Amino acid sequence: MNNGGQGSACDICSITNCFSCLGANQCSVCNSGYFLVTSGSNKVTSCSPCVLANCANCTSATVCTGCKAGFTLNAGSCKACSVQNCANCLESISTCTACQPTYSLTGGVCQLCNIPNCATCSGFNQCSACNNNTVYTNAVSACYVCDLANCIACSANSFCQTCNQSSLLPSSVGECTLCNVLNCTSCDVANVCQTCVINNLIFIGTNNQTFCFFCTLSNCLSCSNPNVCASCATGYVISANNTCVLNCTTPQYCNFCSAPNVCGQCMPTVNTTTVTPFSGNCFLCSDPNCLVCSSNNVCRACNGTQFSIASDNGICVVCPTNCLTCSSNATCGTCVNSFYVLNTASNTCTSNCSINNCITCSVNGTTCLTCNNAFSNVNNLCVDCQINNCLACNTSLSCSQCSQGYTVLANPANNNFGCVLCNIQNCNQCSSTNVCVGCFTGFTFNNGSCIQCSVTGCSSCSQINFCNACSVGTLDPVKGVCVQPCNITNCVTCPNSVCTQCNPGNTINAGICVTCSINNCINCAQTNMCQQCDTNYQLFNNTCILCSITNCQTCNTANNCSVCAANYNLTGNTCKALSCAISNCGNCILNNVCSTCATNFTLNTNSNSSNASTSCVSCTINNCQLCVSSNVCQNCNPLYTLISNVCYICAINNCLTCNNNSLCASCAQGYTPQNGYCYPSCPGGCS
């Protein structure tokens, strides 16, 4: 308190809940939650509490001027902000303006932002902006201190990730170091490379200068310098000139290898002994009758069917008849098959068949499979067929198959079957000598003869040109014809040689099938040239791309719209409906800005509006291209001339305008109208 100019002293402010005093009994500012009260003639002041709930500042017991954190003043009272973790909100209580500590306001919501040095979060512990972009690097989940010289982004506190110049690179300790070495990713000392880009190696040259190089030597896994291989791929070895060559040490007698330890060409001979290849190796093969040896002088295949490989020494020998394997002295070991049995006493393979006149028996020798000529197998016996012109008998007196030119005929007296002469052309059954009763397939019986059906693909005819059964194609019983199979490539059905259904992977185009293997394409114009895509797909650069965006007309990549349908506008990647309230407008390009009118209407270009294309006027005049008002033509279609609001045809060569009689009124430069036509002008003024 002022002491009358005789010096000054600090008096104790004894007023309860007073923040600042003017004198011992005069408060000027109360603590938060209290208001000043003046009483008595000497103006004594005191601080009384704000009685309104959650009120921080008030001018009287019932008049609040400011609320506590998390509350907002609404109609004289403090109401809690409805947004969780909000410190201040608007009077509406649902609109937050400031969040509590460690929270960040994002989209009207207070997100936990407990990231040191983060100013704003976009989600739970996801930083969108650090306190100072020049000091901190935003790594989403952290704000790294990044105050290093020449560094623009850090991957950890004071550890640089990106330097501000192309000649500087982060070192192993995170500092920006001069590093002009090509393909180098870090230098610990100026221009001394520490690490190279992927697939590059460090090479130390003269004066300890470092380089990064790519090991380009074929089949080399790592290089010690650009032209010296340190280790080769599997199957390769380092050569004398420090490159990688095929490892060809395993195969003997090999000229060169085609793959690691796989011989590509064997030596023809070694000391006059033949060398043969087998399974990537080369083996000596001294047996002159051997074609291939599988190891030295052990034959794998003989040079001819008359030879067999001996079981005791692997050379090629000639075995006894019907013997499959034998030893080097031609002693048979096994017979060629089970139809023969080995007779060890005679060293031969004999038939296992004991049935008279049987050539071949079953494995166990009890069933005859083939009889001698003139004998037929009847009930496992070979029967002598005594019927003339018979090839096979059921019994000795009953034929089952006759010679050519004869057919089987039953004898009613004894029910045996004999052979009767039947040399009528194309007849397969006679009732007596040369009396035909049945024809071969494709022929029909007519007046004792067999005549060929004239219907293509027919196996049986009732008449020459009316088929009853088809051998090729499908019978049309009404027309008596055989419908031939479809010969159009990849076509399933083709009535009248026009394809109506193709095999999978093909589509119909102009009555034929074209290959159409493009994904989601349902029609190709020619081989793998898509013309129409499936639903929700659109054609772009001969590819069907997914385009399921509502009201999108064209996509340039999958679900990336480039052009919207009529009356829709592309916003971002969404087609939003345009307001198109213009009468008779077919398509708007902007809200209520028409670009194309409906049929028989044109854009009104004489409108007084600032948008000259915002109305459509009736335009029903034949061949009129543009009307300026309802049915008042301004321009005709090409080849027509406007005369008195009528468009007249003007198809005369070199004519600019015609009269109402469709005769030329004015010609192009260099031509002169004459009798309604345009003639070349006479040069030089000649007549």
- Amino acid in the structure at residue 73: L
- Domain, as residue range, for 458: 439-485
Residue 311 belongs to some domain of the structure: no
Is residue 624 domain-shared with residue 595, that is, in the same domain?
yes
pLDDT value at position 277?
Answer: 92
Q: Is the dihedral of CA 143, 144, 148, 151 positive or negative?
A: negative
Residue 24: exposure state from Cβ atoms within 10 A (0-12, 13-18, ≥19): exposed
Is residue 661 domain-shared with residue 614, that is, in the same domain?
no
Residue 253 or 140, more confident: 253
Cα–Cα nearest to 142, from 106, 105, 116: 116
Q: Name the token pair of 638.
A: 């090409």
Does residue 12 contact residue 19 with C-beta atoms inside 8 Å? no
pLDDT value at position 614?
Answer: 67
Q: Name the token pair of 528.
A: 């793998």
CA distance 501 to 488: 11
pLDDT value at position 115?
Answer: 80
Is residue 644 domain-shared with residue 586, that is, in the same domain?
yes
Is residue 624 domain-shared with residue 656, that is, in the same domain?
no
pLDDT value at position 393?
Answer: 79
Residue 676 belongs to some domain of the structure: yes
Is residue 635 domain-shared with residue 656, that is, in the same domain?
no
Residue 628 belongs to some domain of the structure: yes
pLDDT band at 3 (very low <50, low <70, confident <90, very high): very low
pLDDT value at position 270?
Answer: 92
Query: Is the per-residue pLDDT at 591 higher than 70?
Result: yes
Q: In the listed set 470, 485, 500, which residue is the last one of a domain according to the structure? A: 485
pLDDT value at position 319?
Answer: 85
CA distance 328 to 417: 56
pLDDT value at position 210?
Answer: 77
Residue 606 belongs to some domain of the structure: yes
Provide the 10 A C-beta neighbour count for residue 13. 18
CB under 8 A, 24+ apart: contacts of 259-266: 259/235, 260/234, 260/235, 260/236, 261/235
Residue 244 belongs to some domain of the structure: no
Provide the 10 A C-beta neighbour count for residue 340. 19
pLDDT value at position 5?
Answer: 42
pLDDT value at position 613?
Answer: 53
CA distance 297 to 288: 11
Residue 504 belongs to some domain of the structure: no
Q: Which element (helix H / strand E) includes 111?
A: strand 109-112
Is residue 644 domain-shared with residue 661, that is, in the same domain?
no
pLDDT value at position 6?
Answer: 43
pLDDT value at position 68?
Answer: 82
Question: What's the distance, Cα to Cα, between the start and end of the chain in Å?
Answer: 124
* % helix, strand, coil for the chain, step of 5: 0, 55, 45
Average pLDDT of the residues of the chain: 81
Chain-centre distance for alpha carbon 579: 39
Output the domain CATH number for residue 449: 2.10.220.10
Is residue 602 domain-shared with residue 654, that is, in the same domain?
no
The values of phi and psi at residue 642, to 5°, are -85, 120
Task: Determine the 3-state secondary structure of 207 from DSSP.
Answer: helix
Residue 634 belongs to some domain of the structure: yes
What does the pLDDT average to over 240-253? 88
Considering 300-304, 338-342, 498-502, the range whose residues carry the highest mean pLDDT is 300-304
CA distance 518 to 409: 65
CA distance 621 to 640: 12
Residue 298 or 652, more confident: 298
- Tell me which residue has tokens 């990231």: 115
What does the pLDDT average to over 53-61? 84
Longest dimension (CA), the chain: 173
Query: Is the per-residue pLDDT at 206 higher than 70?
Result: no
CA distance 495 to 476: 13
Query: Is the per-residue pLDDT at 464 higher than 70?
Result: yes
Cα–Cα nearest to 426, from 408, 409, 410, 407: 407
CA distance 438 to 606: 94
Output the domain CATH number for residue 617: 2.10.220
Beta partners for 210? 204
Q: In the listed set 451, 485, 519, which residue is the last one of a domain according to the structure? A: 485
What does the pLDDT average to over 179-200? 81
Q: Name the token pair of 500.
A: 């109506």
Q: What is the 3-state secondary structure (H, E, C) of 586-629?
A: EEEEECCEEEEECCCEEECCCCCCCCCCCCEEECCCCCEEEEEE
Dihedral (C-alpha) 424, 430, 432, 437: value to the nearest 10 degrees? -100
Chain-centre distance for alpha carbon 320: 65
pLDDT value at position 411?
Answer: 67
pLDDT value at position 11?
Answer: 67
CA distance 244 to 404: 75
What does the pLDDT average to over 524-545? 85
Residue 497 or 159, more confident: 159
Q: How far is CA 196 from CA 192, 210, 227, 351, in A?
A: 11, 10, 18, 82
Task: Determine the 3-state secondary structure of 497 from DSSP.
Answer: helix
- Amino acid in the structure at residue 670: G
Is residue 683 domain-shared with residue 639, that is, in the same domain?
no
Residue 283 or 67, more confident: 283
Cα–Cα nearest to 100, from 114, 90, 110, 89: 110
Q: Name the token pair of 491.
A: 């076509």
The residue count of the chain comes to 687
Residue 2 belongs to some domain of the structure: no
Spatial neighbors of 263 by CB under 8 A, at least 6 apart, are 248, 251, 254, 255, 256, 257, 277, 280, 281, 282
Number of domains, the chain: 3
CA distance 498 to 554: 34
CA distance 276 to 419: 62
Is residue 588 domain-shared with residue 627, that is, in the same domain?
yes
Is residue 590 domain-shared with residue 625, that is, in the same domain?
yes
Residue 617 or 12, more confident: 617
CA distance 375 to 647: 103
pLDDT value at position 606?
Answer: 52
pLDDT value at position 283?
Answer: 94
Label residue 353 left, alpha or beta by phi (over 0 means left) and psi (-120 to 50 means alpha).
beta
* Per-residue pLDDT tens digits for 360-401: 787 777 788 888 777 878 788 888 777 788 877 777 777 878
Spatial neighbors of 235 by CB under 8 A, at least 6 apart, are 246, 247, 259, 260, 261
What percent of the chain has pLDDT above 90? 4
* Per-residue pLDDT tens digits for 405-447: 888 886 666 666 788 888 888 888 888 888 888 888 778 877 7
The values of phi and psi at residue 610, to 5°, are -65, -25
What does the pLDDT average to over 263-280? 92
pLDDT band at 266 (very low <50, low <70, confident <90, very high): very high
pLDDT value at position 612?
Answer: 47
Query: Is the per-residue pLDDT at 452 higher than 80?
Result: yes
pLDDT band at 276 (very low <50, low <70, confident <90, very high): very high
Considering 6-10, 101-105, 181-185, the range whose residues carry the highest mean pLDDT is 181-185
CA distance 347 to 331: 6
Beta partners for 282? 277
Q: In the listed set 417, 452, 485, which residue is the last one of a domain according to the structure? A: 485
Does residue 152 contact residue 164 with C-beta atoms inside 8 Å? yes
Q: Name the token pair of 601.
A: 């209407």
* Per-residue pLDDT tens digits for 6-54: 445 666 777 888 888 877 678 888 888 888 888 777 677 888 888 888 8
